[in-house]
Amino acid sequence: MNPAWGDIGAAECDLASLPEVEVVPRLPNNEEAVLRLAAMGVLFDEVLQEAMVACPRQRHALEQPLLDEVDLEGSALKLPWWHEGNCALIPGHYETAQVLQLLRVRVGDRVCLLQPRGGYLMELLVRIGASELLVIEPDEVRRATLIARWERLGLDELCAEHDCDVRWGGCVELADEAMRSEPYWDRMLLTGALPRLPIELLTGLTHDGQALVVVGDDEAAVLQLVTPTSKRELTAQWVCSWAVQVLSPEVASVLEGLEPPDEGVAEEVLASESERVRAWTQANNDPMRDRFAPERILRMMAAIWDSAGPVFAGCGEAEADIRTKLADDLFRMGHVLQQLGVLGLAGEHHAESFRLLPSSESATFLAWALSESGENRDGALAWYRRAIETDATFGNPWNDIGALLLENGELKEAVPWLSTATQAPRYDALGFPWLNLARVHEQLGNKMAAFEAAREALEHLPDDEDALRIFEESGVGLI
């Protein structure tokens, strides 16, 4: 310990004095996740809200590993519906709500859906009132598998109940639609990116129809709302970035008037256990993929995601253990949500990460989320305690406990926690406990200790105004 402290802070930290964890948060189920969006004002279409409550994403995804331990249905993570290749993710609740509200499907509308991403969007379109649905999946194997899953889930009965005719097609049917001479479709939705607007296909829109088309490469792709202004003229309004992957060159060539490739007769393919695990392992590797937000927000989310790890050893390997990878994805997603201010859901992601694979990091960030919400100080202290019990070498929880005590006016009690944080073997932000120590000693009137702590803080935070102020004011008369 620095001799400048004298006898202040000599008392050891009393971990047993902190509360114990009583509640472990859980991720929301499908209904709760949807209702939260409605409460936030993000999901305002009541018909769509009812449809999303009745239609969980998980039923259309590949079977989730470790489902008996953690259910990712209500998480902000992406769910895979196919075991290989591109464009194999089911959109999240937020993206789904945004896109389908923009599409504004009315009861009785005829809808053309290019690349369905599993059956999730299809089922929602049926439930919100489409009378006819043409589903174009260019890959014949995926199409055969989708049809088999659709039938296995009994969704033909749902179509009959809602009086909706569902038809399936591939590149041949897509070419026919691109050559259609008269308007027919009230709504079109293309969930993969194209290099340019597919004008020939879009002329199939009715006079009051509209389409959502993604144009650009995968990271800079922009969702555009297209509406007819006359029989051969269209207006395209740029809406937002939607970082979907690019549609195959075969699809683009068909939409540009080239002959469709020959298609064979395919059968359903069931993913093996190893293929299913690999799909879930890789689903969230790209943090920007399939996110719906302004491009600058997407890039900020990616930077936050990358800054959060690696927390777990081996999670960056191509064949990472599924428990390790899901725990890491949950932790990173929680960190992103925390930085965006979505504290409750952030804490739930951290809690599920801890449930799968306990780490001091996930417990600490859960505690931080509880602390930032301002409503559960004891819960925050309990999770900081759990973080230290999990790995005492991680410095963040020691500092954060001290910061909470400082905030509560418990100055002398804060000193040993902050002092321990400055000596932690694993801590890449040592400036913060030194700065907090400087604040504590300034308030206690210990000028020498405040001066020394501020000097140490400035070694790590050279531009911090509070550290500079304490250093200058406490240094007066010391020399």
Amino acid identity for residue 350 in this structure: H
Based on the domain organization, do 116 and 190 belong to the same domain?
yes
**pLDDT digit string (tens) for 326-361?**
999 999 999 999 999 999 999 999 999 999 999 999
448 domain residue, yes or no: yes
Binned at pLDDT 50, 70 and 90, residue 9 comes out as very low
Q: How many whole angstroms separate alpha carbon 52 and alpha carbon 120?
A: 9
pLDDT score, position 155: 96
Name the domain boundary from 191, 221, 255. Answer: 255
Burial class of 196 by CB neighbour count within 10 A (0 to 12, 13 to 18, 19+): exposed
Which helix (H) or strand (E) segment holds residue 468: the answer is: helix 465-475
261 lies in some domain: no
| Per-residue pLDDT band at 315 (split at 50, 70, 90) | low
Element (H, E) at 449: helix 447-460
User: Is residue 337, in this structure, part of any structural domain at all?
Assistant: yes
Backbone φ, ψ for residue 37 (5° rounding): -60, -40
Does residue 170 fall inside a structural domain?
A: yes
Instruction: Indicate whether 205 belongs to any domain.
Output: yes
User: Exposed (0-12), middle (13-18) or buried (19+): which is 224, by Cβ within 10 Å?
Assistant: buried
147 or 231: which leads in pLDDT: 147
- Taking the C-alpha atoms of residue 170 and residue 233, their distance in angstroms, rounded to an integer, is 27
Same domain, 310 and 208: no
- Together in a domain, 241 and 302: no
∠ CA 452-456-460, nearest 5°, is 160
Percent over 90 (pLDDT), the chain: 82
Out of 220, 255, 290, a domain closes at 255
**In total, how many domains does the chain have?**
2
The per-residue pLDDT for range 252-306, each reduced to its tens digit, is 999 988 888 888 788 999 999 999 999 999 999 999 999 999 999 999 999 999 9
Strands (E), 67-122: 79-80, 89-90, 110-114
Cβ distance 58 to 71 under 8 Å?
yes
The rounded distance, in Å, linking the Cα atoms of 227 and 459 is: 58
Residues 202 and 280 occupy one common structural domain:
no
Residue 207 within a domain: yes
CB proximity list for 139: less than 8 A, separation 6 or greater: 85, 170
Point out the least confidently predicted range of 7-11, 145-149, 174-178, 284-288. 7-11
Query: In the Cβ-directed half-sphere of 427, how many Cα atoms lie within 13 Å?
Result: 26
Q: What is the CATH number of the domain that holds 283?
A: 1.25.40.10
Residue 330 CA to residue 391 CA, distance in Å, equals 19
The verdict on 285 and 167 lying in the same domain is no
Q: What is the pLDDT of residue 23?
A: 87
Q: Are residues 282 and 241 in the same domain?
A: no
Same domain flag for 236 and 326: no
Residue with tokens 């009230």: 186
* pLDDT tens profile 223-245: 999 999 876 789 999 999 999 98
Q: Closest by alpha carbon to 34, among 115, 103, 100, 111?
A: 100
User: What is the separation of C-alpha 55 from the centre of its chain, rounded to a whole number of angstroms?
Assistant: 20
Q: What pLDDT is attached to residue 232?
A: 73
Among the residue ranges 7-21, 347-361, 374-388, 423-437, the one predicted with the least confidence is 7-21
**To which residue do tokens 């959060």 refer?**
308
- Which residue has better confidence, 216 or 12? 216
Range of the domain at 358: 3-24+274-475
DSSP H or E segment with residue 185 = strand 185-194
| Distance (Å, whole) CA 365 – CA 231 | 56
For residues 458-467, average pLDDT: 94
Do 250 and 279 fall into the same domain? no
Query: Does position 4 have pLDDT exceeding 80, yes or no?
Result: no
**Sequence-ordered list of residues with C-beta below 8 angstroms from that of 437, at least 6 positions apart, any chain:** 402, 415, 418, 419, 422, 449, 453, 457
Q: Token pair of 170, please?
A: 């591939």
- Tell me what pLDDT residue 260 has: 87
**193 burial via Cβ count (<10 Å: 0-12, 13-18, 19+):** buried
Task: Say whether both 98 and 213 belong to one domain.
Answer: yes
Classify residue 58: in a domain, yes or no: no
Average pLDDT, the chain: 91
pLDDT at 316 over 60: no
232 with 299, same domain: the answer is: no
In a domain, 38, yes or no: no
CATH of the domain at 194: 3.40.50.150
Q: What is the pLDDT of residue 1?
A: 37
Based on the number of CB atoms within 10 Å of its own CB, is 131 exposed (0-12), middle (13-18) or buried (19 or more)? Answer: middle
- Do both 249 and 396 map to the same domain? no
Distance CA 363, CA 380 (A): 9
Contact yes or no for 439/406 (Cβ under 8 A): yes
The Cβ-side half-sphere exposure at 300, using a 13 Å CA radius, reads: 11
- Same domain flag for 226 and 334: no
Residue ending a domain, among 228, 255, 282, is 255
pLDDT grade for 479, boundaries at 50, 70 and 90: low
3 state DSSP class of 214: strand
What is the pLDDT, as a whole number, of residue 314?
Answer: 58
Stronger pLDDT, 87 or 173, i.e. the higher one? 173
Angle in degrees, 0-180, between the axes of helices 322-339 and 343-356, rounded to the nearest 10 = 160
**Separation between Cα atoms, residue 93 and residue 254, nearest integer Å:** 31
Residue 200 vs residues 102, 257, 305: alpha-carbon distances, Å: 22, 8, 40
